[in-house]
Structure 1
Amino acid sequence: KRRRVDEEDTAETSFEQATRHPTFWYHDGSIVLHVEETLFRVHQSFLSTHSEVFADMLAVPQPTGEEELEGCHIARLHGDQAADWEKLYLDTFQPVQSNTRKIMNFLPGVLRLATKYRFRAFRKKAIAGFTSLFPSDLPSENSSKWRPAFAIEMIRTAREINCLEVLPYAYLCVTDALKDHSDIYNLEQLPWMDKTVALSGMIGVAQKQAQHMFPFVKATWHSPPAASLSTPPAACAVCST
């Protein structure tokens, strides 16, 4: 059921109650982004230059009577996370260099915003980092590099931003840590669709291993005929041949 407008306004944090970001509150900024309970005072020129969505939005004259703070229009960004915007600006003005763990921490948030607001250059850079962490060709010496919890987060992010080429390696990182195939059902953060795909892959790998790595197992083992299940093993005609 859709909430009433007045209920939405009550649930939202007013800009008077929100906190100014300690780093990304530029005194010469020309627009205030209100994200969750945080205010970012940034530059319209930066947003319109790099984001197609903001370029279109800021090209439209703002109506009179809109919320303003220190002469800057306030843009409420519904559904965004303040931490994601912080990471996007940090990655832009204080980029992480040669630190894989920090890159991993930045990727999901930057990718979400870059995809949603069409920061094309940012998305291209983030996708390159994403695919380098989850390659489509698995190096022989690198079997399962990332923890399942992080791999699951990346699977959800990949679905959200439509970067599906990273999924096979991410599935491998998740399934390699399982002791039994059925354990995949206990991964609450992994969507059911991905559980199904991952389980299908696990079964496929097991079948290929039986076919190509251990063919003698299939050649020497067989299920006894159904009729023999009620008789002693010695009565199995197949085994006696």
Structure 2
Amino acid sequence: MDLGPPAKRQRTDNVEIVRSSEIWHSDGSVVLQAGCTQFRVHWSVLSLHSSFFRDLQGLPQPPNEPKVDGCPVIEVSDSSEDVETVLKALYDPLFFLQQSLSLSVIASHIRLNFRKYELKKIWSIVVERLAYENPSTLEGYDGLRGPGSGYYKPSKFKAYKGCYMDILTLAKENNLLAVLPCAYYRVLLAYTQAQIFDGVQRPDGTQATLVSVTR
């Protein structure tokens, strides 16, 4: 990966802007800014995967628009973590060949696709992972359980305490209707009534909750 110099900082309206140390291509042609982080990438890569950026590239740019190293700056409303995750995948053709991905990575791709970026091929890949683990038929559900004991262990994402609650929330927020029935059922099997109402602590100390659940 062709990365540019170490992260540099600038200030705009008293906000410190940081160049990404992970995604900063010295020959990039456009800078995406998410929050206070800038990513220098290529129009050609964005346009190849996203009709949103393909259309955006064709729009005339006002002459007084700010630039960084001669590149136009496109501000996006998404988190820098989500943007960095998706850009890493766009530049790595082997990214989705991994057998298991973290749920946070899957969530980043789903959130950005659902909002506006129309990364259709990637959308299909990440949604397929959730759909595989949350089938819409009883036969599919039974097929995921191991022989004998019927024990289920996900293979398409990395499980952790609270993950089934996070999957249900992700599916609800992004209108993944086919995933919902099984996701609801997994939550009912995995957690006590108290956990469903009060949440479950993830390994990193944060809380997985179903925000729409009320007493």
After superposition, give the CA deviation of every residue in 1:40-95 in whole Å (9 maximum; x if it has no partner): 000111112211211222211011111110100111102x0111111112223330
The one-letter code of the counterpart of 2:127 is I
Q: Quick check: 2:196–2:209 contact (8 Å CA) kept in 1?
A: no
Q: Please state which structure has a larger fraction of its residues in helix.
A: 1
Number of aligned residue pairs: give it. Answer: 180
Is residue 2:198 matched to residue 1:186?
Answer: yes
Could you say which residue in structure 2 is the equivalent of 1:168? 181
Q: What are the superposed Cα offsets for residues 76-129 of structure 1, whole Å, 9 maximum, x if unpaired?
A: 102x011111111222333054442x3433100011112221111111111112
Query: Which amino acid is the alignment partner of residue 133 of structure 1?
Result: E
8 Å Cα contact 2:35/2:80 also seen in 1: yes
Counterpart Cα distance in 2 of 1:103 and 1:93: 18
Unaligned runs of 5+ in 2: 1-10, 200-207
Q: Give 2:183's aligned amino acid.
A: A
Alignment-derived partner of residue 110 in structure 1: 109
Q: 1:133 to 1:90 in 2, by over 3 A?
A: farther
TM-score normalised by length of structure 2: 0.73
Q: Residue 42 in 1 paired to residue 41 in 2?
A: yes
User: 2:66–2:72: 8 Å Cα contact kept in structure 1?
Assistant: yes
- Report the secondary structure of 1:138's partner residue: helix
d(CA) in 1 for partners of 2:47 and 2:35? 22
Aligned equivalents of 2:182, 2:161: Cα separation in 1: 11
Separation of aligned partners in 1, 2:57 and 2:82: 21
Query: 1:143 Cα shift?
Result: 4.9
Could you tell me how far apart the structure 2 residues matched to 1:58 and 1:160 are?
29
Q: Which runs of 4+ in 1 moved over 6 A?
A: none
Question: Which residue of the partner structure matches residue 172 of structure 2?
Answer: 159
Counting only pairs closer than 5 Å after superposition, residues 196-207 of structure 1 correspond to structure 2 as none
Q: How do 1:141-156 residues align onto structure 2 when only pairs under 5 Å count?
A: 141-143=150-152, 146-147=159-160, 149-156=162-169
Aligned to 2:5: none
Structure with greater proportional strand content: 2
2:47 aligned with 1:53, yes or no?
Answer: no
Q: Does 1:14 align with 2:22?
A: no
Task: Please give the root-mean-square deviation of Cα atoms over the aligned residues, in Å.
Answer: 2.6
d(CA) in 2 for partners of 1:131 and 1:25?
34
CA distance in 2 between partners of 1:86 and 1:176 (Å)? 34
Pairwise CA distance, 1:147:
4.8
**Who is 2:202 aligned against?**
none
Q: Counterpart in 1 of 2:128?
A: 128
Shift of residue 163 of structure 1? Answer: 1.2
For residues 210 and 34 of structure 2, the distance between their equivalents in structure 1, rounded to whole angstroms, comes to 27
In structure 2, the CA distance between the partners of 1:123 and 1:130, relative to structure 1 (3 Å rule), is: same
Q: Which position in structure 2 is the counterpart of 1:235? A: none
In structure 1, C-alpha distance between the alignment counterparts of 2:114 and 2:151, rounded to whole Å: 29
- Name the SS of the counterpart of 2:22 in structure 1: strand
Q: Which runs of 5+ in 1 are unaligned?
A: 1-12, 197-241
Residue identity (%):
26
Higher-Rg structure is 1
Query: For 1:97 and 1:142, how far apart are their aligned partners in 2?
Result: 25
The secondary structure found in structure 2 opposite 1:128 is helix
Taking structure 1 as the reference length, the TM-score comes to 0.65
